[in-house]
Amino acid sequence: MAKDVIVALDFPGEKEVFEFLDLFREEKPYVKIGMELFYALGPNVVREIKARGHKIFLDLKLHDIPNTVRSAMASLSKLDVDMTNLHAAGGSKMMAEALTGLTRPDGTRPLLIAVTQLTSTSQETLEKDLLIEKPMEDVVAHYAAVAKESGLDGIVCSPLEVPGVKARLGKEFLTVTPGVRFADGDAGDQVRVTTPAKARELGSDYIVMGRPITRAADPVAAYRRAMAEFVG
């Protein structure tokens, strides 16, 4: 079942972020804070946006040795975000340590999901640059299985890979899917893309949309269109 549209706040600074959020007078969109914004403004921007009542997906894609990732996640757990992530390529031990670090003393924690393969990665890139000769669908399914075995809540993947992941790992294993554009929009630098309506049909739990909403002539209308097509 479709759960929500997450809006990627891919802005260079605080002024642009809050001008965008101020457009929403009736809704409080679920938002994604990525590297660009977090590295520019630090954890305070997370606190400020959370104080406004938004759910937050902190998209930093941690990928390091297990001990470092555990310590980093312990720091992130204090920010009260709703979801964060790491690269599944870091392996099962790194993912298990991440969960340990993310879990607070009272047992609560944000959702933790794993990036399988970036939606900008093509089959050609997989084979030529990464020396992975398996089909993309098989690679994503394997990374997803390792993530689930490590105790994670779900994965980031293309909507096109969702049916295979759900069939193998169950409907409760979350799929957070970027690479979503409106039918009449530009694909940008994404390779494995689809529309909000198609993502819903394929079984995505969350879709992530940035430029089709943030750079729209009317961002609020674009957000409402995405919600209507994906959530209904």
206-217: per-residue pLDDT in tens?
999 999 999 999
**Is pLDDT at 1 greater than 60 in this prediction?**
no
Q: Quick one: pLDDT at residue 192? A: 60
pLDDT at 71: 98
Phi and psi at residue 209, to the nearest 5°: -130, 130
d(CA 102, CA 89): 19
Where are the extended beta strands (E) located within the chain?
A: 4-8, 30-33, 56-62, 83-87, 111-115, 154-156, 174-177, 206-209
Architecture of the domain delimited by 4-230: Alpha-Beta Barrel (3.20)
8-state DSSP, 151:
T
Q: Are 86 and 63 in contact (CB under 8 A)?
A: yes
CA distance 221 to 232: 15
The active-site residue out of 3, 55, 61, 198 is 61
- Rounded to whole angstroms, the Cα distance separating 73 from 6 reads 21
pLDDT digits (tens, 9 = 90+) for 32-87: 999 999 999 999 999 999 999 999 999 999 999 999 999 999 999 999 999 999 99
| Domain boundaries, given as residue ranges, for the chain | 4-230
> In the annotation, is 61 catalytic?
yes
pLDDT 10s digits, 104-158: 999 999 999 999 888 788 899 999 999 999 998 888 889 999 999 999 999 998 8
Residue 184 CB neighbours (<10 A): 7
What digits encode the pLDDT tens for the residues 153-188? 999 988 988 998 999 999 999 999 998 999 886 655
The whole-number pLDDT of residue 30 equals 98
pLDDT at residue 141 in the model:
87
**DSSP per-residue letters across 9-21:** ---SSHHHHHHHH
**Global confidence as pTM:** 0.92
Let me know: does 99 contact 81? Beta carbons within 8 Å.
no
- pLDDT band for 15, please (50, 70, 90 cuts): very high
Radius of gyration (Cα) for the chain, nearest Å?
17
